[in-house]
Every structure is written in structure tokens, then in C-alpha cells.
């Protein structure tokens, strides 16, 4: 192959590779965190998630229960029904009483009215899309709150099975280390306060990705620049031969 053609092919390949690498490095799939799918009883905190006794509290739920139908983290408040507050997941593969489906965690406050809290801590600064809902799984009255750090951003209540869900669908700016807390509290009486909860948190701020047509144009510009440089160099060589002959020092005195 002609050396010049080989060089053009090489520079074209380099240009395409360069812009291909730029696309790969600047684009990434959105990161999605799911309160339900990410739940496990291995550790608490569990990555970006943690399960707590009370709002803005350092006290983690520390008691683990793992059965064929339900896995849970629960707190230090003993009752004849078990330990509260708790956060639990339905792992039965079906619906448990009352209307507890596998796509919901169940949260319940304690007898001493301490809220059950699921906390998510931002791993990176950016805008995060928060989507979720709370639905009543029992007959009790419950307070629902979502906090950004210590500030309430959503508040509502549930008045038993069939009451309208409390929902969130917001883009929220967070710095790394900021947190969101999803809290279920009792309205004076803790009995029958089971609440179904689900949420996804998705990175909403992602770098722009160049269009394929932009890559092609950029690659063409790179090849075009190379061709112009080659033509200029060839012309310089022709002038040198014409004016200098065998005088090799003459070449350095000619303008580029």
C-alpha cells in the first residue's frame, strides 16, 4: 500500500479511536438504588442504606431475624409481639397478610412511639431522582415523613388499609454524605401501624454523550488536517529540490 494511504488509514483509525474512548469515558449508565431490592440482613449499615431507631438517630436496628418468609432488622424495645421498631422484607415469593406484597418493605414504630427509619446516604454529590411510596398494611394511624438531613421534605399520614398512599417523586440536589430518611411513626398508639414502603433513588445528573454524527465529523476533521499537513510538507520538499539541488544546508534557509 502507498505509504501516504497507509498513514491516512492510521490517522483515521486513531481519530475514531480517540473519540470512541472519549464517549466511553464520558458516558455511564444511571446508578439505581432500591430500598427493597438492596435490603439484606447481612450488615447494618448495608452500603448506602441503614436501618435506624428514630429520626436523625445514631442508633441502628441491631436484632436480625431471618426466616423462610420474612427477614428483618428490629430494635431494642421488647413486647409480647417481638422487638420494635422494625424494617422487614417479604421473601416468601408471594403476598403475606395483610396485602404485604414482595415489592414492599414493612416498617413499624415501637411501643414507645420511636419511628422506624430507613436512611439512604448519598455516595456522590449530584442530583438524585427520588421516587417512592408508603401504603398502609394495617388498621392503625401512622405519621409518614421524609427528611433531607434534618429538614422535612414530605409529610403525611395513613389512616388504615385503603387510605391514599403518601408518595414522593422529586429531583433532589445532595452533597456526598447528605442523607434522606424515610420514617414511619405512630400517631399516639403504636398498635397496627405496619406500613409498606418502597423507593428507588437514581442518579439524575450524567455527562452528555456526543452523537455518532459528531464523532464522524470530528474524525473527518482530524483526517483533513493530516492531509493538509502532508500536502504542505510535499510542497516544501518540491521547492527544496528545485532551489537547492545537492546543497543540503540550503534547506534550512528556506521558509517552511
* Whole-number pLDDT of residue 77: 86
CA distance 109 to 172: 27
Return the biggest CA–CA distance within the chain. 107
* 28 pLDDT tier (thresholds 50, 70, 90): low
Residue 238 confidence (pLDDT) above 90: no
| Domains identified in the chain and CATH numbers | 32-203 (2.60.120)
E strand or H helix at 212: helix 212-244
CA 251 to chain centre: 61
- The tally of CA atoms less than 13 A away on the side-chain side of residue 27 is 10
Helix (H) or strand (E) holding 236: helix 212-244
Per DSSP bridges, beta strands 179-186 and 32-34 are unpaired
Answer with the residue of higher pLDDT: 221 or 156.
156
Write the pLDDT tens digit of every residue in 160-181: 888 999 999 999 999 999 999 9
pLDDT at 2 over 90: no
Please tell me the distance from the alpha carbon of residue 157 to that of residue 165, in angstroms, as a whole number. 9
pLDDT tens by residue, 180-195:
999 999 988 888 899 9
Model pLDDT for residues 33-85, shown as the tens digit of each residue: 999 999 999 999 999 999 999 999 999 999 999 999 999 999 988 999 899 99
Amino acid at each position: 500500500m502507498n505509504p501516504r494511504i497507509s498513514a491516512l488509514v492510521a490517522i483515521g483509525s486513531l481519530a475514531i479511536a480517540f473519540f470512541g474512548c472519549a464517549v466511553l469515558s464520558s458516558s455511564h449508565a444511571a446508578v439505581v438504588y432500591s430500598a427493597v431490592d438492596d435490603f439484606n440482613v447481612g450488615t447494618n449499615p448495608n452500603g448506602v442504606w441503614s436501618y435506624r431507631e428514630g429520626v436523625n438517630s445514631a442508633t441502628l436496628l441491631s436484632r436480625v431475624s431471618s426466616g423462610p418468609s420474612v427477614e428483618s432488622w428490629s430494635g431494642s424495645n421488647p413486647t409480647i409481639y417481638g422487638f420494635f421498631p422494625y424494617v422487614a422484607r417479604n421473601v416468601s415469593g408471594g403476598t403475606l397478610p395483610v396485602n404485604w406484597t414482595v415489592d414492599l418493605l414493612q416498617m413499624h414504630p415501637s411501643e414507645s412511639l420511636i419511628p422506624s427509619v430507613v436512611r439512604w446516604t448519598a455516595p456522590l454529590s449530584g442530583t438524585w431522582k427520588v421516587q417512592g411510596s408508603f401504603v398502609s398494611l394495617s388498621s392503625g394511624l401512622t405519621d409518614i415523613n421524609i427528611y433531607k438531613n434534618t429538614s422535612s421534605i414530605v409529610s403525611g399520614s395513613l389512616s388504615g388499609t385503603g387510605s391514599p398512599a403518601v408518595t414522593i417523586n422529586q429531583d433532589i440536589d445532595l452533597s456526598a454524605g447528605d442523607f434522606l430518611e424515610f420514617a414511619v411513626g405512630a400517631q399516639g398508639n403504636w398498635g397496627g401501624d405496619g406500613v409498606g414502603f418502597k423507593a428507588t433513588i437514581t442518579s439524575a445528573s450524567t455527562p452528555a454523550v456526543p452523537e455518532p454524527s459528531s464523532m464522524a465529523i470530528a474524525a473527518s476533521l482530524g483526517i483533513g488536517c493530516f492531509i493538509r499537513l502532508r500536502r504542505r510538507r510535499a510542497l516544501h520538499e518540491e521547492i527544496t529540490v528545485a532551489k537547492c539541488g545537492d546543497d543540503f544546508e540550503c534547506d534550512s534557509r528556506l521558509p517552511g
